[in-house]
Chain A
Amino acid sequence: MEYTEIITEAIGTLTVNKLRTGLATLGIVIGIGSVIALVSLGQASQKSVESQIQSLGSNLLTVSPGAVSQGGVRGATGGGTTLTLEDAKAISSTSQITTIQAVSPEYQSRGQVTTGRTNTNTQILGVTPVYADIRKVTMAQGSFISEQQVSGMAKVAVIGPTVVTDLFGEGASPVGQTVRINGQTLTIIGITEAKGGSGFQNQDDIVFVPLSTAQKQLFGADHLTSIVLEAKSADVMVNAQNEVGYFLLARHKLNDPAKADFSIMNQQDILNTVNQVTGTFTTLLTGVAAISLLVGGIGIMNIMLVTVTERTREIGLRKALGAKKKVIITQFLMESIILTFAGGLIGIGIGILASFIITKLSNSPFVVSPSSILLAFVVSAGIGILFGWYPAQKAANLQPIEALRYE
């Protein structure tokens, strides 16, 4: 018997009982659909987080103060006051550190920004011009903070597009106007280009001021909240981390690395941590989806067993007329494979559609990996063979005499 005949034969049999065929397929549709949707969702969120982190600049190390133990109480990372502008200057001027090409001292706080009529609570970041280079800040209007403005403690501010919308309304161009922060009046000299993205660090909801202005005029602080360093290349990141670490330990007169009053985060570390979290999540969801696929497969097996019992006489007749075991096995396997394959095909369609809709709604990039589709195909056909094998064997091993007598 030719395969095309077996296939048309199987499709013919399956279309006889459409409701049952549909319900049996549904389990596979849901299983494959959820696997595809969840895998591509996981990949989309991973991509979006990655691109967000990359948009913050590349090859960056962040030195944060804190993690100081005072009298047995360990302070929160970043909460300390142990990093100073002098540390930053020393890092950029010392000959002991060869792998760092840019140093950006930063003072970050939150504050209320008002225009007199409107106000908003936002992130206020005291920076030097280096910041714009290593963080890849581009200007929509005006200019970024200059060296003179930092040394002159100028009362100027560069604001992000979200803050513009919050304070002045959509599409306004408030360059030249003033805002008030902590009682000081600052002139707006520039607006940054929207970076998009949301989440843990919105780069659009931010006000940049000269570092000196932030420290002395707005918040009255001497320390830095972080020093961001740009390494010369991705290859020297670990070296740079070590060099800076030992340099600062020596500067702070500490000889035990375990007692360091600062911590250095590699950008790759952040990326890895985030990837690990999203990866775990994806694995977990895919696991749940895989279980539903297994349940779908058991449904197929159940239906095939019912079919074999129902068609005992037919099987007996076919064997009496000369069908060999292999032909009977192929016939029933083909039916279950067509069931699961059709289910897989519909499932892939639904999965892609679902992930498309969800990514549109959540504004993350739409990714469908060809590998997950290939996997879905292989898995659905595999389930057909796996769960169809036992019923097919059962059919092929029926004795024609008994099968013919079966009522």
Chain B
Amino acid sequence: MPTIIRARNLSKVYKTETVETVALNNVSFDIEKGEFVAIMGPSGSGKSTLMHILGALDTPTNGEYILDGENVSKLQDDELAEIRNRKIGFVFQAFNLLPRRTALQNVMLPMTYAAISKEQRLEKAKKYLKMVGLEDRMEHTSNQLSGGQQQRVAIARSLAMNPAILLADEPTGNIASIQAEEIMAIFQNLNKKGHTIVMITHEPDIAEHAKRIIHIKDGKIVNDGNGHKQRKVNGIHRDNN
């Protein structure tokens, strides 16, 4: 399997006038295509900082980050924007859909920033909304959808540009647990189809949906290993691979 993410000695230091805070300290790992990785850690561990760097929302102070063959560590704002657009599909904890816009319009948004024709945008948006089971909710505006439905729209949006990785930041943090299971089922399904997924979470039972779990503490990787293959949900045994 080819390497999608190559992180080498990533460090992030926040400086204020008096204090230097090391949020990330010499972190190195590889993620291969088709992996489903959970990054876990308590709050303040540096997992959000790592997620920002992996999402090209921020650049590391030191180290090298190569995403799908492109060195992201030293890019300027607009170049980062292009990387985010083409290579990363974001799923946020707070969904972050545009209010008063329909599900379709929300899914088409990242495609408007790439030069994709209107017909193609519509076609793809419909396809991905169907994939997350919202074919009968395409014309609903985001405030007419439940939390779980909104997050499914967000997943469809993250797929829109056929990115190299899906980056999910606490994707079930704002959702009732039954709907959370549906969301995780969608992620596993996508992973089965070959999508590379990186998920940040602090909930162990959510992390266990992943095949590999990276534990972070105090800005360092403390454990990097396999997740559980078998887990119990609502009394039913489910194979997550």
Q: Quick one: which of A307-356 are within 8 Å of B by CB?
A: 313-314, 316-327
| Alpha-carbon distance A314/B77, docked complex (angstroms) | 17
User: Which chain B residue shows the least CB distance to A328?
Assistant: B81
Most interface-central of B77, B92, B99, B112 (chain A CB within 10 A): B112
Whether the Cβ atoms of A318 and B78 lie closer than 8 Å is: no
Which of A313, A317, A322 contacts B81 (CB under 8 A)?
A: A322
When chains A and B are docked, how far (Å) is the Cα of A1 from the Cα of B110? Answer: 10
Q: Chain B residues near A318: list those with CB within 8 A.
A: 109, 113
0/1 per residue, B71-83, Cβ < 8 Å to A?
Answer: 0000001100110
Are A401 and B110 in contact (CB-based, < 8 A)?
Answer: no
Is there contact, CB below 8 Å, between A314 and B78?
Answer: no
Indicate whether A5 sits within 8 Å of B112 (C-beta atoms), given known contacts A317-B96, A322-B82: yes
Asked, given contacts A320-B90, A321-B85, A322-B84, whether A404 binds B113 with beta carbons under 8 Å apart, the answer is: no
Does A384 touch B at the CB level, under 8 Å? Answer: no
- Which chain B positions have C-beta within 8 A of A323? 81, 113
CB distance from B200 to the nearest CB of A (A): 13
Interface size class of B (residues with CB under 8 A): 20 to 34
Inter-chain CA distance A378–B96, complex, in Å, is 38
Is B114 in contact with A400, judged by CB distance below 8 angstroms?
Answer: no
Contacts of B57 in A (CB 8 A): 320, 400-401, 404
Q: Does residue B238 face the partner (Cβ distance < 8 Å to A)?
A: no
Q: For residue B216, give the distance in angstroms from its CB to the closest CB of chain A.
A: 18
- Across the interface, which residues of B come within 8 angstroms of A322, CB to CB? 81-82, 84-86, 110, 113-114, 161
**Contact partner, A320, options B55, B86, B99, B114, Cβ 8 Å:** B55
CB-based nearest A residue for B96: A317
B192 at interface (Cβ–Cβ under 8 A)?
no
Q: Are B78 and A324 in contact (CB under 8 A)?
A: yes
Cβ contact within 8 Å between B98 and A314: yes
A112 to B35, CA, bound (A): 111
Q: Which residues of B contact A73 (CB under 8 A)?
A: none
CB of A16 closer than 8 Å to a CB of B: yes
Residues 233-287 of A at the B interface (beta carbon under 8 Å) = none
| Contact B81 A324, beta carbon cutoff 8 Å | yes
Residue of B nearest to A400 (CB): B57
- Is B228 positioned at the interface, with any CB of A under 8 Å from its CB? no
Complex contacts, A317 vs chain B, CB 8 Å: 96, 98
A-B pair number, CB within 8 angstroms: 53
Most chain B Cβ neighbours within 10 Å, of A321, A325, A327, A400: A321
The minimal Cβ–Cβ distance linking A340 to chain B, given in whole angstroms, is 24
- Cβ of B52 within 8 Å of any chain A Cβ, yes or no, is yes
Instruction: Report whether over half of chain A's contact residues are helix, strand or loop; otherwise say mixed.
Output: helix
A319 to B56 alpha-carbon distance, docked (Å): 11
Residue of B nearest to A321 (CB): B110
What residues on B are CB-neighbors of A319 within 8 Å?
Answer: 81
What 0/1 pattern do residues 90 to 121 of B give for CB contact below 8 A with A? 10100010111000000001101110000000
| Minimum distance in angstroms from B51 CB to a CB of chain A | 10
Q: How far does the Cβ of B121 sit from chain A's closest Cβ, in whole Å?
A: 10
Q: Which residues of A contact B64 (CB under 8 A)?
A: none
CB distance from B102 to the nearest CB of A (A): 12
Q: B109 touching A321 by the CB < 8 A rule?
A: yes
Task: From the candidates B77, B84, B113, name the one contacting A327 in the complex (CB within 8 A).
Answer: B113
A400–B92 Cα distance when bound, in Å, is: 13
Instruction: Mark each residue of chain B from 32 to 67: 1 if its CB lies under 8 Å from any CB of chain A, else 0.
Output: 000000000000000000001001011000000000
Q: Which residues of the other chain, A, contact B86 by a CB distance below 8 angstroms?
A: 322
- Shortest distance from the beta carbon of B14 to any chain A beta carbon, whole Å: 12
User: B110 — which chain A residues lie within 8 A by C-beta?
Assistant: 321-322
Least Cβ distance of B124 to chain A in Å? Answer: 15
Q: Collect the chain A residues with CB atoms within 8 Å of residue B114's CB.
A: 322
The answer to whether B52 and A401 have CB atoms under 8 Å apart is yes
Closest A residue, CB atoms, query B52: A401
CA distance A105 to B92 in the complex (A): 96
Contacts of B96 in A (CB 8 A): 313, 316-317, 320, 404
Cβ contacts under 8 Å, A316 to chain B: 96
**In the complex, residue of chain B having the shortest beta-carbon distance to the beta carbon of A323:** B113
A1 to B81, CA, bound (A): 14
Most chain B C-beta atoms within 10 Å of own C-beta, residue among A313, A322, A323, A325: A322
| Complex: A148 Cα to B228 Cα, angstroms | 130
- What's the Cα separation between A5 and B111 when bound, in Å? 13
Cβ of B84 and Cβ of A321 under 8 Å apart? yes
- With A5-B112, A314-B98 in contact, is A321–B90 under 8 Å at CB? yes
CA distance A348 to B98 in the complex (A): 35
CB A126 to nearest CB in B, in angstroms, measures: 82
Residue interface bits B1-23, CB-to-A below 8 A is 1, else 0: 00000000000000000000000
Closest to B48 in A: A401
Which chain A residues (349-389) contact chain B, with CB distance < 8 Å? none
Residues of A within 8 A of B78 (CB): 324-326
A325 to B113, CA, bound (A): 11
**A313 to chain B: which residues have CB within 8 Å?**
96
Q: Which residues of chain B come closer than 8 Å to A1, judged between CB atoms?
A: 112-113
Cα of A323 to Cα of B113 in the assembled complex, Å = 6
**A265 to B52 Cα, complex, angstroms:** 83
Within the complex, what minimum Cβ distance (angstroms) separates B169 from chain A? Answer: 9
Chain A interface residues toward B at CB < 8 A: 1, 5, 16, 313-314, 316-327, 400-401, 404
- Give me 18 other A-B pairs in contact (C-beta within 8 A), A317-B98, A323-B81 excluded: A313-B96, A314-B98, A316-B96, A318-B109, A318-B113, A320-B55, A320-B84, A321-B90, A321-B113, A321-B157, A322-B82, A322-B84, A322-B113, A323-B113, A325-B81, A327-B113, A400-B57, A404-B96
Nearest 8 Cβ contacts at the A-B interface:
A322-B85, A322-B113, A321-B110, A324-B78, A317-B96, A324-B81, A401-B57, A400-B57
Query: 16 A-B residue contacts at CB 8 Å?
Result: A16-B100, A313-B96, A314-B99, A316-B96, A320-B84, A321-B85, A321-B90, A321-B110, A321-B113, A322-B81, A322-B85, A322-B86, A324-B81, A324-B113, A326-B78, A404-B96
